[in-house]
Structure 1
Amino acid sequence: MQKILVPCDFSVSARRGLEFAVELAQATSGVVIVLSAISQQQVDENPIVSERYKAEFENFVVKISQPINIIHTIRIGRLLPAVLDLITEESVDLIVMGTRGSRGWESTFIGSNVEKILRRSPVPVFAVNQQSHLKNLRNIVFPCDLVLGNNYGTGQLKKLQALLNARLHLLRVDTTLGINKLILMQELKDYAAFHGLTNFTINIVKDTDEKDGILHFAKEINADMIAMTTHGSMDAAHMYRFSVSADVANHAHLLTWTCVQQSQASSLIKAK
């Protein structure tokens, strides 16, 4: 049974993420765990804020057309530690978050919170910045790092592809503008063979910026979502390094999915 964690403050964008998580749960017989994190300052300024979240959750649940297993938990404190704690406590398989995309992170999750979750999560993360439905996800852009190893993330993507019955569009963005295209094509073929990928196309684009190359290609083929595997880092000192995945998730106008390439669930380090 898949456990889906949804950080949610019941803003408009957060609700979009929650609605998508419900679809995922219905398709996989999963459980949705809704997390509302309340800062101590919020509690001090508005002692009944938790009651508002409880009421918002109940109002959402009564509108669900099909019965699913969905629960709500409220934690006092910062969002990232609460998310990482629940991943461990509940053996969470997947995170779904609603965002505002290129208009900026929203509300309780403003600033770097969403980006931190994208970088620190040891499990796959969906960033939902517009209304998305599983039945419409048929073409997935997959920028490849060409690493022949550490296949946890690729394995998770293969499971998602099977669930959606989707096609992968393997992509390599050449930012050097000088690498032989035939060499890149062969490396992509070797990558696909090593990871056992099926139902895919091979694509190479040239761009001076990797993020722009990914977004331009996704728009050109009218993709339904972008999937990215990352090297990840459980070290807080690495949080400030440039992250292509987080940048793509924040600027894409479509659904994004990210996952660390190498499983780090056994060595999860809680945020300080």
Structure 2
Amino acid sequence: MKTIVIPFDFSPYSLAALKTAQKVSVKSGAKIICVTVIPSEVDYDKLSDEAKLKYTELREEKEEAERILPDYIHEVAPAKADIVQEVRIGVPNELILRVAEEFSADLIVMGAYGKGYSQGKFIGSTLQKVLRKSTVPVLAVKEALDGNDFRKIAFASTFHPDSKQAFAKIKSLVKAFKSSVHLLFVNTPDKFTSSDEVKKGMDLFQSGNEEIVFHQHTYNDGEVEKGILGFCQESGIKWLAVVTGKHDKSPTYQISTTETILFKGDLGILSVKV
């Protein structure tokens, strides 16, 4: 893992994401790219120099953010490693993904909410869009994860062959923390799967990853999301990886397992696409 992108909007949740990313950086040696987006329908990056002169207010906001960010971040999240700061103007989710592509990010770490958060609100719309569109693994947090939290991770899956491809994307992160990986299959009445079939899938998943410590678990519940949350709470696990499908063209009202678990619990959720 070489590069981590952190969207930072001065909210407590973005600070939790930054502190989490710093823990990952210390273990992996990855550099941190902190991106602050000044919201606008104007795609400022793509304007000519002449056209940019027309947007005085936006330009002044950008210059102010560039001036105050270094000292502010050093004050709230001091660390030895330098943080590269990018201030952009435009649509937040689009700019976050653009920066991740420009810097060839291996991981995006985001807060569950932005600075417009109100109590009881579902997860932030920017996070939802990034989760749906990003091809890079996205770790979403409500609270900062510390070094001990990273020592155990749950990997919830149906353990079809494509889940092994998804794990390959986060394997370096797991190895950096020497995390024990708790493979989790939630059995529900409507999609019941035999123990033999689950074990066969998990055994195939583990094959070729012998340097990782795995534990296999089947957990019974009426709903997948409830089962995942229940298992993690009982096992003292603070972060979870979930393999997700392609939702980039899905309507916003189609809520995925990743988003539901993040909303209902306090786990850090690592969304990984095949």
Normalising by structure 2, report the TM-score.
0.81
1:165 to 159, 167, 178: 178
What aligned pairs does 1:74-223 form with structure 2 within 5 A after superposition? 74-99=87-112, 105-107=113-115, 111-149=124-162, 151-176=164-189, 179=192, 181-194=194-207, 196=209, 198-223=212-237
Q: Give 1:26's aligned residue.
A: 26
CA pair 219-120 structure 1, distance change in 2 beyond 3 A: same
Tell me which residue corresponds to 1:268: none
- Determine if contact 2:8/2:35 at 8 Å carries over to the other structure: yes
C-alpha distance in structure 2 between counterparts of 1:8 and 1:213, whole Å: 32
Q: Deviations 1:34-84 (Å, cap 9, x if unpaired)? A: 111112389898875431464144221256554313111111111111012
Partner of 1:258: 271
Change in 2 beyond 3 A, CA 1:165/1:245 = same
**Considering only CA atoms, is the larger Rg found in Structure 1 or Structure 2?**
2
State the secondary structure of the residue aligned to 1:170: strand
Deviations 1:130-187 (A, max 9, x none): 1211243222111112211364321123222211111111111112267354234423
Q: 1:239 to 1:191 in 2, by over 3 A?
A: farther
Amino acid paired to 1:92 = A
Q: Which amino acid aligns with 1:256?
A: I
C-alpha distance 11-187 of structure 1, shift in aligned 2 (>3 A): same
Indicate conservation of the 8 Å contact 1:137/1:164, yes or no. yes
Q: Superposition RMSD on alpha carbons, in Å?
A: 2.8
CA distance in 1, matches of 2:182, 2:258: 17
Distance 2:25 2:111 in 1: 16
Instruction: Report the equivalent of 1:246.
Output: 259
Work out the number of aligned pairs and report it. Answer: 255
Match of 1:225 in 2: 239
Looking at structure 1, the residues matched to 140 and 208 of structure 2 have their Cα atoms a distance apart, in angstroms, of: 24
Deviations 1:14-47 (A, max 9, x none): 1111122122222222211111111238989887
On the 8 A contact 1:140/1:224 being kept in 2, the answer is yes
Please state how far the C-alpha of 1:249 moved relative to its aligned partner.
Answer: 2.4
What SS is found at the alignment partner of 1:131? coil
Task: Determine the C-alpha separation between the residues in 2 that align with 1:150 and 1:218.
Answer: 20
Q: In structure 1, how many angstroms separate the alpha carbons of the residues matched to 2:157 and 2:193?
A: 17
Amino acid at match of 2:92: L
Asked if 2 retains the 8 angstrom alpha-carbon contact of 1:181 and 1:204, the reply is no
Please give the secondary structure, in 2, of the residue aligned with 1:106.
Answer: coil
Q: Which runs of 5+ in 2 are unaligned?
A: 43-54, 118-122
**Where in structure 1 are there 5+ consecutive unaligned residues?**
100-104, 262-272
1:119–1:239 Cα contact (<8 Å) kept: no
- Residues 1:3 and 2:3 aligned together: yes
User: Is 124-133 or 186-195 further displaced after alignment?
Assistant: 186-195
Q: Give, in whole Å, the separation in 2 of the partners of 1:239 and 1:52.
A: 31
Distance, in Å, in 2 between the alignment partners of 1:190 and 1:20 is 31
| Kept in 2: contact 1:135–1:164 (CA 8 A) | no
Identity, % of aligned pairs?
Answer: 24
Mapped to 2, the partners of 1:54 and 1:252 lie a distance apart of 36
Report the alpha carbon displacement of residue 2 of structure 1 after superposing the two structures with TM. 0.9
**Structure 1 counterpart of 2:120:** none
Structure 1's 11 and 168: CA in aligned 2 closer, same or farther, altered over 3 A? same
